[in-house]
Chains A and B, each alone.
Chain A
Amino acid sequence: MSESASGSREPARSAPLAAAWTVALFQLRRLLTRPRLALAAVGVVFPAAVMFAAGRAARGRLDPDLSVAMLYALIPEAVCVLGLLVTMCPVVADELERGTWPHVAVRPGGRRALLLGTWVAAVIWTSAVAILATLLALPVANVTDPFAVGRILAALVLLSCTGRAALFALPAVVMPKRALVASVGLALVVEVLAGVIPAVVNQATVSLRLRSLLVDWMHWKQKLPTEVQLFIDPQPAWVHVLAVTAVVAILLTAAVVILERRQFPPSEEI
Chain B
Amino acid sequence: MISIHNLTKLYGSVIGVNDISVDLGAGAHGLLGPNGAGTTTFLGLVTGQLRPTMGRVLVFGEPPFGNPRVLRRIGFCPAADLGLGTTTPREWVRYLVRLSGFTAAEAAARADRSLEQVGLAAASRRPLAALSKGMRQRAKLAGAIAHDPDLLVLDEPFDGLDPVARHDLVELVRSWAKTRSLIVASHLLHEVESLDAGLAVILGGRLVASGTAAEIRDLVASMPAEVRVRCDLPRRFAELACGVEGVESVRFDGGEVIVATRHPGLLVEQAVMPAVHAGLSVTEVVAADRSLEGIFGRLVRLHRGVKA
Contacts and interface: CB of A to CB of B under 8 A. Distances in A.
Given A1-B58, A3-B1, A19-B99, A270 B11 contact: yes
B102 A12 contact: yes
A182 B166 CA distance: 44
B44 A266 contact: yes
B137 interface: no
B99 A110 contact: yes
B46 to A, nearest CB: 10
Interface stretch (A22-30, A58-66, A123-131): A22-30
Interface stretch (B34-42, B114-122, B211-219, B252-260): B34-42
Interface in B78-119: 78, 80-87, 91, 95-96, 98-106
Contacts of A105: 48-49
A146 to B, nearest CB: 38
Q: How large is the interface on A (under 10, 10 to 19, 20 to 34, 35 or more residues)?
A: 35 or more
Interface stretch (B65-73, B167-175, B285-293): B65-73
Contacts of B71: 106-108, 110
B148 interface: yes
Given A263-B51, A264-B49, A6 B69 contact: yes
B72 A8 contact: yes
Given A106-B71, A109-B68, A269-B36, A3 B49 contact: no
Which of B49, B82, B91 has the largest number of chain A CB atoms within 10 A? B49
B164 interface: no
B308 to A, nearest CB: 27
B14 A30 contact: no
Contacts of A16: 101
B62 interface: yes
A99 interface: yes
Interface string A228-270: 0000000000000000000000000000000011011110111
B98 A98 contact: no
Contact of B95 (A14, A26, A266): A26
A265 B99 contact: no
B249 interface: no
Contact of A265 (B11, B23, B35): B11
Contact of B47 (A6, A14, A106, A260): A106
B83 A100 contact: yes
A173 to B, nearest CB: 15
B104 A265 contact: no
Given A5-B62, A12-B106, A269 B40 contact: yes
B42 to A, nearest CB: 10
Interface in A70-104: 97-100, 102-104
B57 to A, nearest CB: 12
User: Can you list the 6 inter-chain pairs with the closest CB atoms, starting with the nearest?
Assistant: A108-B68, A99-B80, A98-B83, A5-B69, A107-B99, A102-B78
Given A4-B61, A29-B86, 12 more contacts: A2-B61, A8-B72, A13-B102, A14-B102, A14-B104, A30-B84, A100-B82, A100-B84, A263-B51, A265-B50, A268-B35, A269-B38
Interface of A: 1-9, 11-14, 16, 18-19, 22-23, 26, 29-30, 32-33, 97-100, 102-110, 113, 260-261, 263-266, 268-270
